[in-house]
Structure 1
Amino acid sequence: MLRRLMLLSLIFIVSISCVPTVMAETNSTNIQYYNSNSLIKSDGSYWVWGRDQLVPTHVQGISDVKISFGNFFVKNDNTVWFWKQTMFNYNSADLIQVKELDGGYAQSEGSGGMAIRDLNGNVFFVPWVDNDIFGYDFRIVKKIDVDHITDLTNFDKPASYMPGRNWVFLKDNGTVWAYSGFMPRPVSAVKGLDDIIDIYRNHALKSDGTVWYWTGEPNESATQVKGLVKIKSILPDFFSRMFLDDQSRLWYGGSYINSSNEELTKQQTPVMITSIGEVKDAVTIRDSLIVLTHSGDLFETPITQSKMSKAPKFKRLSTNVMNIKAAGSHIIMQKDDGTLWGWGTNTNAELGAGQNISLSITPVPVGQPISLEVNGEDVLLTSGVIMRNNQSFIPLRTLLVMLNANISYENNSKVLIVGSKEGSSPSIRVSINFKNGEILLNEKSIGSQTKAFLLGGTSYIPLRFISEQLGADVSWTKKDNKISILYGAVADVE
């Protein structure tokens, strides 16, 4: 058994040199859902990136998922599950079913808590609790005394540091209802709002194309926003007020804060942006306005002035973009070939690109969600597979945890030596020099194209450099982005 474990463990540094070159192709068309730091593949598996996960990394224990929001997941049977996440299980998970939400998931909004709307128009509130769970406390799920809800939102000026104080609900009869507070309280109708078809934060869109707003004060009547007519949608951007009219023109009403938490544009009367048209979507991140057109072009213009010009100069960021997802300081976009790309801050690996950059001024490809299995069993990786020079690299930590071998590290020379146990066959000694990236296999250099590297404090080693010595059978499934390895007795049987 000991020898078998050692041989299986050594597989983690097996090469894909015998895999067809098609493996180097980016194949992300199997992504059925994504967000600013996660994705769900068509097989229902869930992948995350950020912090220690430099590229998309499979979270084991989460399967058959179609949508995720916060720490909640909706499975294909419409049941809702909660991930009790701690710092010790970030890349593995145990899900707990939230039976109060058996009515099916339709929508959620989170700020100081999570309001969740089910398919029957009921709304439930899950508070944010500071305990051993990083996120929401699924143990406290309360139904809000409101029904027939078709939309929900919340608003509070970010600079006030009091998020989630004003919750707003749109009923199927076109009326708007709200309550203030962190926990559910009796709701009341917002005066002056009827025949409403869309809401976001403290703005409401009437069927006649006019937009109305209110501050959330008790017994306040809504006021019409001057200058806005023939509006067809309110863009759901957390940091700004933006609207699209019936000619797909963008109206900009000012941003709340920038990356330094300082107020920027304070204009109350929205201006129509004339320097770009056929707008499909728009978001603000950091100090930039990002605009996506119906033709798939993505543009950026800075937000640094006290008021936005009617004709700001836009710079093209990318083409063939289908949609975008934004966070506070970065965006993730999906192109028409299914691939994901990131732009913006990458201080904590927000872009999932596996690159040592703190800020990307041009879009970079998000790493592929590549899974690895040995003899039919999935391998738990501390961070996902990184592709470089048509080769796959995995974290050294994964190897050290799984490898049943003699390991030593020479601190002065920065050389790691991994060797097979005495009497094991085959006899292998691997020397990794992290100063120059050179790798020696049984004292023989394996070439400059397979250098180990450090990234984000994590050491990465290539999978290819001992494959021939181990005699592994390696295959690549393009459809699933999966490396499958057969070794030893299993490979012989096959």
Structure 2
Amino acid sequence: MKKSIALLSLALGLTVSAQASAAEANANSASNIVSYGTDSLVKKDGTFWIWGPQQPVPTQIPELTGAASTFGFHMVEKQDHSVWLWETKPLSKTVTVKPVSGISNVTKIEGYGPALALDRDGNVSASVKTAEGWDMTHFEPVKGIDHVSDVESYYEMNDKTGQARRIFLKTDGTVWTNTDSEPSLTPAKNLDNVVQIEKNIALKKDGTVWTWPKTFKGTGSLPNTVTATQIKPLNQIKSIWQDANSSLAIDSQSRLWFWGAILTGYSDGPVYTDLPDPVLLTGVKNVKEAYVVEDSIVAFTGDDKVYATSIKRNSMPSNASFKLLASDVASVKNGYRHIIMQKKDGTLWGWGVNKNAELGYGDYEFMHQTPVPVQKPISVSLNGENVPLASGVITRNSQNFVPLRSVFEKMGAEVSYDEKSKQATVSRKEDGKPAISISVNVKTGSITLNNAPITIENKPFTVDGTVYLPLRLISEKLGATVNWLPDQERISIQMN
């Protein structure tokens, strides 16, 4: 039962705020990145980039221009405050972009059934239900609620049924709620002067933390509203965080508290053991943000360092040791199974599960135990025009590689690939000039020009079935001039 609740709550719960912190702004001043999430980023020029299952490194979506910030749920806000949805078709590198109607000037997107959008004026809108499901391209206002400062949603269950619950925090500190079975808004009991909500916990202005059930015994009707009770050991708390199974709190002394699920078993069959009483974790100090990511607690401290400790254990000792992951960190964005960090020099780094290229590093290694750099969002232009890439540029040992067909066909070359021999051929014929034929054996990495071998420092390679070839080498052999424009993070190719 707990595993089912966890999965349903996860589907409803992951959010990314569009607002950047002051630390992010400082990092952005040294970078071309103005906004980033766990699977996407926005550059200063308004271009939008994604990575994940079909794109192992940041890849530009050319249809999205004038972008300002990236949310979760594949949502992007443009500089004109309009909101757009991007979608990748399964088993395809094709990305579609659609405008989202009914919302603008958004600060947060939350939940799936329906999704809730909170704007900067405190209004909330919900995605519209159709015969095919919830339409993420059309939102309508949620009636009966305004002056909202935050929204949360999760799934609650008993032994027979379940329902999605939505929690609304108003600017006056009151909390209101509704469900699928009872859409009318009702006030939450015992919740006033609330300053933060996280799923089914709330932080009051006086530093106390309150909670209410998400699971119920029996088969009766689920409640229409919530009744909160205080978590007694916690006081002088200044911030809280919660995912589907675990909760964290940071107190006025910047100490970290943990309660909820610890794990045993295997990743494909975890056993959750609930620790209802908060544990003060003394192994890390000066904490300003904290999350549970996969099977670890991740703490971001006031001296700009990131630490982690495992919750995969039989008990959670107060003196659990925290391992240093990274220093000089400006900001952190957390996903369910990985994190993306921006360092003070503006670079992005990823840590955690990577089986679907979540870290933008250019591989599909299941997990990276130490942080790895997210590849730079490098664009390519040919004679001044942007060249769209199905997968982005991968840099290895300071050399840039591009997908087999992405650039060279636009340069007038014919490109072929023999799957059996793993042989790629790039050839070009031009009147009055000798024919050029470049052969690349992807298996051995050898390259020939008109059957004469060429010495190369870094061999071509394949990532997730896509062949990557050295951009500068082949472009110059085809007669082009290649320049690197560092301020734009752009490779400029000029060809007569």
Cα distance change on mapping 1:363 and 1:188 into 2, 3 Å: same
Once the two structures are overlaid, the 10-residue window that deviates more, 170-179 or 67-76, is 67-76
Alignment-derived partner of residue 210 in structure 1: 208
Alignment-derived partner of residue 126 in structure 1: 127
Write the deviation string for residues 111-168 of structure 1: whole angstroms up to 9, x where unpaired: 333101112211111157684x9x8432353434311111111123699999971110
Q: Do 1:157 and 1:256's aligned partners in 2 also have CA atoms closer than 8 Å?
A: no
Cα distance change on mapping 1:160 and 1:372 into 2, 3 Å: farther
Q: Residue 468 of structure 1: CA displacement?
A: 4.1
Q: Residue 437 of structure 1: CA displacement?
A: 0.7
Q: Residue 486 of structure 1: CA displacement?
A: 1.7
Alignment-derived partner of residue 177 in structure 2: 178
Aligned partner (choices 356, 362, 368) of residue 360 of structure 1:
368
Cα distance change on mapping 1:319 and 1:127 into 2, 3 Å: farther
Once the two structures are overlaid, the 10-residue window that deviates more, 160-169 or 189-198, is 160-169
Cα distance change on mapping 1:236 and 1:303 into 2, 3 Å: closer
Alignment-derived partner of residue 249 in structure 1: 255
Paired residues for 1:334-353 under 5 Å: 334-353=342-361
Higher normalized contact order (CA 8 Å, seq sep 6+, divided by chain length): 1
Alignment-derived partner of residue 150 in structure 1: 149
Match of 1:379, as an amino acid?
A: V
1:325 matched to 2:366? The reply is no
Write the deviation string for residues 468-491 of structure 1: whole angstroms up to 9, x where unpaired: 444433222212211112210xxx
Q: Residue 226 of structure 1: CA displacement?
A: 1.6
Q: Residue 353 of structure 1: CA displacement?
A: 0.5
Once the two structures are overlaid, the 10-residue window that deviates more, 242-251 or 411-420, is 411-420
Q: Secondary structure at the match of 2:283?
A: coil
Write the deviation string for residues 387-440 of structure 1: whole angstroms up to 9, x where unpaired: 112111001142576465445545553322232247573521011112211111
Q: Residue 357 of structure 1: CA displacement?
A: 2.2
1:391 matched to 2:404? The reply is no
Write the deviation string for residues 171-211 of structure 1: whole angstroms up to 9, x where unpaired: 111110001128x8111000111111111111111111101
Distance 2:468 2:157 in 1: 39
Q: Do 2:237 and 2:252's aligned partners in 1 also have CA atoms closer than 8 Å?
A: yes
Aligned partner (choices 461, 472, 479) of residue 469 of structure 2:
461
1:56 matched to 2:95? The reply is no
Aligned partner (choices 413, 416, 426) of residue 418 of structure 1:
426
Q: Secondary structure at the match of 2:457?
A: helix
Once the two structures are overlaid, the 10-residue window that deviates more, 76-85 or 346-355, is 76-85
Q: Residue 81 of structure 1: CA displacement?
A: 2.9
Q: TM-score scaled to structure 2, two decimals?
A: 0.84
Alignment-derived partner of residue 107 in structure 2: 106
Distance 1:141 1:447 in 2: 61
Q: Secondary structure at the match of 1:361?
A: strand
Match of 1:33, as an amino acid?
A: S
Q: Do 2:423 and 2:442's aligned partners in 1 also have CA atoms closer than 8 Å?
A: yes
Q: Residue 290 of structure 1: CA displacement?
A: 1.3
Aligned partner (choices 187, 190, 194) of residue 192 of structure 2:
194
Distance 2:194 2:471 in 1: 57
Q: Residue 285 of structure 1: CA displacement?
A: 1.7
Alignment length (residue pairs): 457
Distance 1:344 1:312 in 2: 20
Distance 1:375 1:86 in 2: 31
Cα distance change on mapping 1:441 and 1:301 into 2, 3 Å: same
Alignment-derived partner of residue 9 in structure 1: none
Structure 1, unpaired ranges of 5+: 1-26, 489-494
Q: Do 2:460 and 2:470's aligned partners in 1 also have CA atoms closer than 8 Å?
A: yes
Q: Do 1:279 and 1:294's aligned partners in 2 also have CA atoms closer than 8 Å?
A: yes
Q: Between Structure 1 and Structure 2, which shows a larger proportion of strand residues?
A: 2
Distance 1:163 1:56 in 2: 38
Cα distance change on mapping 1:121 and 1:163 into 2, 3 Å: farther
Q: TM-score scaled to structure 1, two decimals?
A: 0.85
Q: Residue 296 of structure 1: CA displacement?
A: 1.6
